Amino acid sequence: MGTGSHLAEPAARTTLRAVPAQPRGHPTPLRGVPERGPRAWLAVAFALAAVAFLGDWLTGAEISFSPFYLVGIGVGTWFAGRRAGVALSLASTAGWVGAYLLTGERYSRPSILY
């Protein structure tokens, strides 16, 4: 039988420290991303949505550019909040439809639009 030495040594104690909670509405900071206010991030997100619109418009109707709209929506929602995300979603939807109508081209099949 063993000597039971594993019972004689006290277990190492760990100290738990409380991590300060982030204020409500503020995202967790990302390493390497500069701290800016929600308005600045909202402007960046709308600029990204505008770039997606221009790319969508310039590439024509048969090339899907919708994933690029999601970049702006994601940035706006993460850094500026839910309302900004909803506003960007609506603006991106309008941009997507507007780009489709501005190209003057129609899809070769009606099911492509959906």
The pair phi, psi for residue 7, each rounded to 5°, is -90, -20
Would you kindly state where each structural domain of the chain is located, as residue ranges? 46-106
Find, among 107, 75, 110, the residue nearest to 89 by Cα. 75
Mean pLDDT for the stretch of residues 25-52: 79
pLDDT of residue 90: 96
Q: Look at 72 and 60; give whichever has higher pLDDT.
A: 72
Q: Could you tell me the pTM of the whole model?
A: 0.63
pLDDT of residue 85: 94
Q: What are 61-111's pLDDT values in tens digits?
A: 777 788 899 999 999 998 889 999 999 999 999 998 888 888 877 767 766
pLDDT of residue 82: 93
Q: Look at 30 and 54; give whichever has higher pLDDT.
A: 54
Mean pLDDT for the stretch of residues 22-43: 70
Q: What are 6-31's pLDDT values in tens digits?
A: 555 555 666 666 656 555 555 556 66
Mean pLDDT for the stretch of residues 34-38: 75
Which whole-number Å values give the CA distances from 113 to 8, 62, 66, 67, in the listed order? 72, 9, 11, 15
pLDDT of residue 112: 64
Residue with token string 């990204």: 48
Q: What is the DSSP string of 35-104?
A: P--HHHHHHHHHHHHHHHHHHHHHH-SSS--HHHHHHHHHHHHHHH-HHHHHHHHHHHHHHHHHHHHHH-
